[in-house]
C-alpha cells in the first residue's frame, strides 16, 4: 500500500504469449478528450502519467499513453508477487506448523525436555481464520494503523492458532520440565518493502504487532485503552483523558525496550475509537511467550518462564525426523492468503512471498525468491527484463514496471487454471478492499473492475509536505459493452498538500476507470 517516511500454466498461456507484445506505435495515438482532460489537470503539472487499456481476448491496444516507460508501481507490485507465489505454492497449498517434543516423556504425561515449534511461514497463523475456514479482512487493515479511526480490527482471536496447538499438546503432555523454543530458521530474516511491520520473519502472530485501541468515555475521565494480544511479555502505561465533544483529539504511542508501551494524550467524547500498533521487538521471543501462556491456558504446566530468553539450543534441522510430533496447525488454503494480501495490500505478507517461493525451491534469501519470480515471468512470456523489483510489496527503491508489462502479466494470468483465484483476490471497484471508496455507490462502473491499487509517498522535508511518488491501479475491467479489458494506470510525482489530496488522486484513478468503462 503506502510507504511511510521511514517512510502449470499450460497451453492456454502459450496461445496468449503471441498477442502480449504491444506495438510502440500505439503509444502516440491521442487519448479521448475526457481522459486527456484528467491527465492535464493543474495538480498533475509536474507529474508523469502512464496508461494502457488492452482487449483481454485479442490483445488489441485500445488506449495508450507512455505504455513502455518505467514507473514506480507502488503496491501493484503485489500482482507479480502473488502470481509467482500461486505458481510456486499452488492455490490449495496449506501451511503446516508442527510442534515437536524433544526429551523423555513419561506415561503420566510429563515431558523432561523441550517443546519446539517450527515456524512454517504461515502468514496468518490461525489469527484471522473464520468459522467458514476463510481468512478475515477489513477494508482498512490494522497493519497500517497509526492512530486512525478508519481501522477496524478483524473479529477472530489473533491467538487462535497458538491456542489450537496448545490444545493438541495438552492431550499428551501435562507438565513440561524444560523449555519452549521457536525455530524461525525457515528463511533468512529480511525487511519489508512497505509500511507497517518491518521485520519479515517465518513466525507471524497477529502480524507481529500489538493493537492498541483508545476509546472515549465520559468527560474528564480516563479514556478506555485496550490492547491485543495481551501477554505478560508486554506492558501498557496509558494516560489518556476524554475531553469535550468536538475537542482536539491527539493520542501518541511510544515504546521502550521489551514491548513496554506508553500511551498519552486526549480524545474527544464523540470521537470514534483510535487504533495504534506497536511492532514487537523480537517475533520469535514474542511467539515463545505467547505459546507458553497458551499452554498454560490449555492446562499444561510449563516450568520455563515466558519472560526468559530460551536456555536450550534448537535441534539441528536433520534431527526433526527422529523427534515426536505432538501438534500441527494447518492453515486455510493459500488462495485465502492471496486474497488478504491483494484486498488490503498487506505489505508484510507480500514481502514474505518471495522468501516462501525461495523455500519452495530449497533456497532461503530474498534475492533467490526474486530471481525465481523473474524466471517464472519469462517462462510465461512476461518481459521481466523490462522491469525491476527489489522486494515483494512495492516500496523498494528498485521497483519499476511499465503499463505494457503489467498488462502482459494480467493477460497471462487470465490464461491460467488458477485465474479465478487470482481475480477473486483483487479489490472490487466501489465494493471492497482498497477500492471500496474510490467511486460513488451509484457509479455504473461499480463492481465492474477487479484491480490492485498502489500508493507510495515520501516525506518532502524541504517543503514540509509529502510527495506522492506513485498512485497506481492495474487489473481487469468489464466495459459497458460487455467487453473484457485489462488496464494499467499510474501517475508518479505529485506534491501533496494533505492526506485528503492523496485520497482524491485515488478517486481520480477511479474516475478514469469510469471513463474507460463508458468508452468501451
DSSP notation for 14-48 = HHHHHHH---GGGGGSPPPHHHHHHHT-GGGTT-E
pLDDT at 3: 41
Phi-psi region at 362: left, alpha or beta (left = phi > 0; alpha = psi -120 to 50): left
DSSP 483: -
The CATH number that domain 96-330 falls under is: 3.50.80.20
Q: What is the largest CA-CA distance in the chain?
A: 80
H or E segment and range at residue 227: strand 224-228
pLDDT at 1: 44
* Start-to-end Cα distance in the chain: 29
pLDDT at 342: 98
Distance CA 309, CA 286 (A): 10
- 100: phi then psi, degrees, rounded to nearest 5: -110, 150
Whether 144 and 195 have beta carbons less than 8 Å apart is answered as yes
Whether 249 and 267 have beta carbons less than 8 Å apart is answered as yes
The rounded average pLDDT for each run of 10 residues, N- to C-terminus, in the chain (520 residues) is 38 33 51 96 96 97 97 98 98 98 95 98 98 95 88 96 98 97 96 95 98 97 97 97 96 95 97 96 97 98 95 95 98 98 98 98 98 98 98 97 98 98 98 96 97 95 95 98 98 92 94 96
Of the CA atoms within 13 Å of residue 106, those in its CB half-sphere come to: 9
| Pairing mode, strands 96-105 and 324-330 | antiparallel
DSSP 419: H
pLDDT at 499: 79
H or E segment and range at residue 357: helix 347-360
Distance CA 207, CA 218 (A): 33
pLDDT at 326: 98
Task: Give the C-alpha distances (Å, rounded to integers) separating 86 from 272, 341, 360, 397, 413.
Answer: 38, 12, 11, 25, 10
Architecture of domain 11-90+334-519: 3-Layer(aba) Sandwich (3.40)
Task: Indicate where the chain has its CATH 3.40.710.10 domain(s).
Answer: 11-90+334-519
Distance CA 114, CA 263 (A): 37
Residue whose C-alpha cell reads 510525482 in the numeric block = 493
- 277: phi then psi, degrees, rounded to nearest 5: -130, 150
- Reference 404, options 419, 385, 389, 383; nearest CA is 383
487: buried, middle or exposed (CB in 10 Å: 19+, 13-18, 0-12)? buried
pTM of the model: 0.93
Distance CA 419, CA 189 (A): 31
Whether 121 and 352 have beta carbons less than 8 Å apart is answered as yes
- Reference 381, options 12, 18, 8, 10; nearest CA is 18
pLDDT at 181: 98
pLDDT at 28: 55
- 122: phi then psi, degrees, rounded to nearest 5: -55, 120
Mention every residue, 6+ apart, whose C-beta is less than 8 A from residue 218: 242, 269
Task: Indicate where the chain has its CATH 3.50.80.20 domain(s).
Answer: 96-330
Amino acid at each position: 500500500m503506502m510507504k511511510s517516511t521511514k517512510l502449470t500454466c499450460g497451453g492456454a498461456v502459450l496461445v496468449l504469449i503471441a498477442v502480449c507484445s504491444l506495438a510502440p506505435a500505439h503509444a502516440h495515438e491521442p487519448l479521448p478528450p475526457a481522459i486527456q482532460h484528467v491527465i492535464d489537470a493543474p495538480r498533475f503539472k509536474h507529474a508523469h502519467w502512464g496508461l494502457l487499456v488492452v482487449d483481454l481476448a485479442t490483445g488489441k491496444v485500445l488506449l495508450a499513453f507512455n505504455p513502455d516507460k518505467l514507473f514506480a508501481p507502488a503496491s501493484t507490485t503485489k500482482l507479480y508477487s502473488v502470481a509467482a507465489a500461486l505458481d510456486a505454492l499452488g492455490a490449495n497449498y496449506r501451511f503446516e506448523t508442527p510442534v515437536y517434543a524433544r526429551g523423555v516423556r513419561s506415561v503420566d504425561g510429563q515431558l523432561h525436555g523441550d517443546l519446539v515449534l517450527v515456524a512454517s511461514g504461515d502468514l496468518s497463523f490461525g489469527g484471522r481464520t473464520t468459522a467458514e475456514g476463510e481468512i478475515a479482512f477489513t477494508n482498512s487493515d490494522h497493519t497500517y494503523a497509526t492512530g486512525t479511526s478508519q481501522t477496524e480490527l478483524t473479529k477472530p482471536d489473533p491467538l487462535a492458532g497458538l491456542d489450537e496447538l496448545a490444545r493438541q499438546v495438552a492431550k499428551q503432555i501435562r507438565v513440561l520440565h524444560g523449555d519452549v523454543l521457536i525455530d524461525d530458521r525457515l528463511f533468512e530474516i529480511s525487511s519489508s518493502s512497505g509500511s507497517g511491520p518491518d521485520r519479515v520473519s517465518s513466525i507471524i502472530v497477529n502480524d507481529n504487532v500489538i493493537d492498541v485501541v483508545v476509546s472515549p468515555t465520559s468527560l474528564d475521565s480516563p479514556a478506555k485503552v485496550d490492547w491485543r494480544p495481551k501477554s505478560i511479555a508486554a506492558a501498557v502505561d496509558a494516560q489518556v483523558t476524554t475531553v469535550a465533544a468536538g475537542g482536539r483529539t491527539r493520542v501518541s504511542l511510544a515504546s521502550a525496550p521489551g514491548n513496554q508501551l506508553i500511551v498519552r494524550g486526549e480524545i474527544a467524547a464523540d470521537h470514534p475509537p483510535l487504533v495504534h500498533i506497536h511492532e514487537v521487538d523480537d517475533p520469535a521471543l514474542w511467539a515463545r511467550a505467547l505459546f507458553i501462556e497458551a499452554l498454560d491456558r490449555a492446562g499444561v504446566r510449563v516450568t520455563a518462564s515466558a519472560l526468559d530468553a530460551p536456555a536450550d539450543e534448537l535441534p539441528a534441522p536433520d534431527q526433526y525426523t527422529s523427534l515426536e510430533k505432538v501438534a500441527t496447525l494447518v492453515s486455510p488454503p493459500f488462495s485465502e492468503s492471496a486474497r488478504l494480501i491483494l484486498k488490503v495490500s498487506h505489505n508484510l505478507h507480500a514481502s514474505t512471498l518471495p522468501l516462501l517461493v525461495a523455500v519452495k525451491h530449497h533456497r532461503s534469501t530474498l534475492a533467490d525468491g526474486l530471481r525465481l519470480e523473474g524466471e517464472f515471468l519469462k517462462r510465461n512470456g512476461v518481459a521481466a527484463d523490462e522491469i525491476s523489483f527489489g522486494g515483494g510489496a512495492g516500496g523498494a527503491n528498485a521497483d519499476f514496471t511499465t503499463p505494457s508489462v503489467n498488462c502482459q502479466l494480467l493477460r497471462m494470468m487470465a490464461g491460467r487454471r488458477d485465474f479465478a483465484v487470482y481475480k477473486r483476490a483483487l479489490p472490487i471497484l466501489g465494493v471492497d478492499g482498497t477500492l471500496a471508496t474510490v467511486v460513488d455507490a451509484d457509479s455504473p462502473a461499480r463492481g465492474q473492475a477487479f484491480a490492485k491499487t498502489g500508493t507510495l509517498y515520501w516525506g518532502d522535508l524541504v517543503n514540509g509536505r509529502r510527495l506522492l511518488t506513485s498512485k497506481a491501479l492495474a487489473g481487469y475491467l468489464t466495459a459497458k459493452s460487455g467487453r473484457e479489458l485489462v488496464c494499467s494506470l499510474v501517475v508518479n510525482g505529485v506534491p501533496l498538500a494533505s492526506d485528503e489530496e492523496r485520497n482524491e488522486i485515488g478517486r481520480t484513478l477511479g474516475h478514469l476507470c469510469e471513463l474507460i468503462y463508458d468508452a468501451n
